[in-house]
Structure 1
Amino acid sequence: MMKDEKKNRTRWLHLRLSEQEYKILQKYFADSLCPKLSDFARKNLLRKPVVLKYRNQSLDDIIDELTRLRSELNPIGNNFNQAVKKLHSLSQISELKLWIMGFETDKKMLFNSIEDIRMTIRILAEKWLQS
């Protein structure tokens, strides 16, 4: 049926737009799920429904926050892994004392980040439940 519709389209409609009108049309087209601008324009001109992309702002906020938290945790996890590798290679007590001091700093950073994640998840959950 779709191919038959295309075969029957023999009429041209020429339309001139200002730069501003074209930008607006492009924006609306980008917000739609239409594969081609001509499909989008045809549906609008013929008053047929146009399916629009739907963005859930709450979900976008959650994704942004979780991405931020992940980027904070990655270096901490890498430092922790390097510290454990260093522990396995230590042979003297003085080296062990230095490692323990460094480890305590990394541990505090890790626990602070974990607490930040807990608080963020709690806040996001409250926001989600309110909507």
Structure 2
Amino acid sequence: MKEQNNRTKWLHLRLTPDEYQKIVAAFSKSTCRKLSEYARKNILQKPIVNTYRNKSLDDFMAEMMRLRGELNSIGNNFNQAVKKLHTLHQIIDFKHWLISYELEKKILFNKVDEIKKHIQKFAESWLQ
């Protein structure tokens, strides 16, 4: 059951831009969902749980998400090319499809090689 919210009193306070940035920076490292929740816990001296971020893992995940997006795009292009192949009726159309297929295949293989290199780079940094 959700706790009933009886907060009816407001606390207004003014901060310098520097003070505000410090509070926002500390808030972003916490598990609090809202800045008001963070401020309330801080003022009432309740425990605040901070998160720990692994920079190398964050970098790895960002790169993998970028590569996943690119691979999805390449996969979509490949699926469209195969669908077009099924609709071709003339040899000339087939030649154009083959040229475009070879280009998409090269792009795909380049991205797979790029993924392999990134995985190898991160594996080496983790093993050190």
Common fold by TM > 0.5: yes
Match of 2:108?
110
Q: 1:29 aligns with which of 22, 27, 30?
A: 27
Q: CA deviation at 1:25?
A: 2.9
Match of 1:41?
43
Match of 1:124?
122
Aligned residue for 1:32, secondary structure, equals coil
| Residues 29 and 40, structure 1, Cα contact 8 Å, conserved in 2 | no
Q: Which amino acid aligns with 1:75?
A: S
Q: CA deviation at 1:90?
A: 0.8
Match of 2:55?
57
How far, CA to CA, are the matches of 2:43 and 2:117 in structure 1?
47
> CA 1:29/1:76 → structure 2, altered by over 3 Å: closer, same or farther?
closer
Q: Look at both structures and tell me which one has the larger radius of gyration over its CA atoms.
A: 1
Q: CA deviation at 1:23?
A: 3.5
Give deviations 1:41-96, integer Å, cap 9, x for gaps: 332xxxx7542111111111011100111121122111100110011111111111
> CA 1:103/1:53 → structure 2, altered by over 3 Å: closer, same or farther?
same
* Identical counterparts, % of pairs: 47
Q: Which amino acid aligns with 1:60?
A: D
Unaligned runs of 5+ in 1: 1-13
Give the TM-score normalised by the residue count of structure 2: 0.75
Unaligned runs of 5+ in 2: 1-10
Say what the alpha-carbon RMSD is for the aligned residues: 2.3
Give the TM-score normalised by the residue count of structure 1: 0.73
